[in-house]
Amino acid sequence: MPTIWLLSGPCGAGKTTLSARLAAQLSCRQSGRQVCLLHGDDFHAALVGDDRAPAALAWEEVLRFNWDCLLSAAGHALDRELDVVMDYVVEDELPRVLRLAREKGAALRYAVLTVPEDTLRHRLQERGDAWLTERALFLRQKLTAAPENLGRLVDCTDASAALDRVLQLPELLQCDIDNPAADRVS
């Protein structure tokens, strides 16, 4: 059964770095079998032009476009029985990803990457994205407080330890979204 590995988190949390390491690890574990690696920011970068122009898409439409592209590409990979590693900020899209997994007979493993606030600020400054700091801090708060993310928060300060933690996360089920605080018997 193929698996979707979905990594979320604010800008600067380490999604792109960890997803590349995860895809390489999964391929190695499967004797070099190909894994489909999808970076949400690549789809975002595909929209060329000034996002402040009068005819520009609204932010919500940009996000919807990006998610439509991500899920379409993931679906094509799953049709070929490939595991998929996706990284992008997940705010309200988790049910869509879970629906795709169900439709394609795939498992879904989901992690929300976090780092301390000072680390987040430093990473964004170092890569020249300090202008994203306010949004990143907002998303960090929102994602760590969301009930459906409890038990799926992974500190990405140390990428090796984070990779080990992600690989150990259980499959995400519909009941985890519908009733995230429910006690479950293992």
Q: For residue 178, is it within any domain?
A: no
CATH value at residue 62: 3.40.50.300
Q: For residue 183, is it within any domain?
A: no
26-60 pLDDT, tens digit each: 998 877 789 999 999 898 888 766 666 666 778 88
Q: For residue 71, is it within any domain?
A: yes
| Residue numbers of the domain that contains 45 | 3-172
Of residues 102, 115, 100, the one with CA closest to residue 15:
115
Report pTM.
0.90
Q: For residue 185, is it within any domain?
A: no
Amino acid at 174: Q
Total domains, the chain: 1
List CB contacts of 155: < 8 A, sequence separation 6 or more.
Answer: 113, 114, 115, 161, 162, 165
149-185 pLDDT, tens digit each: 989 999 999 999 999 999 999 998 766 666 555 443 3
Coil, strand or helix: which one is 128?
coil
Q: For residue 139, is it within any domain?
A: yes
55-101 pLDDT, tens digit each: 677 888 888 999 999 999 999 999 999 999 999 999 999 999 999 99
Coil, strand or helix: which one is 15?
helix
Q: For residue 177, is it within any domain?
A: no
Q: For residue 179, is it within any domain?
A: no
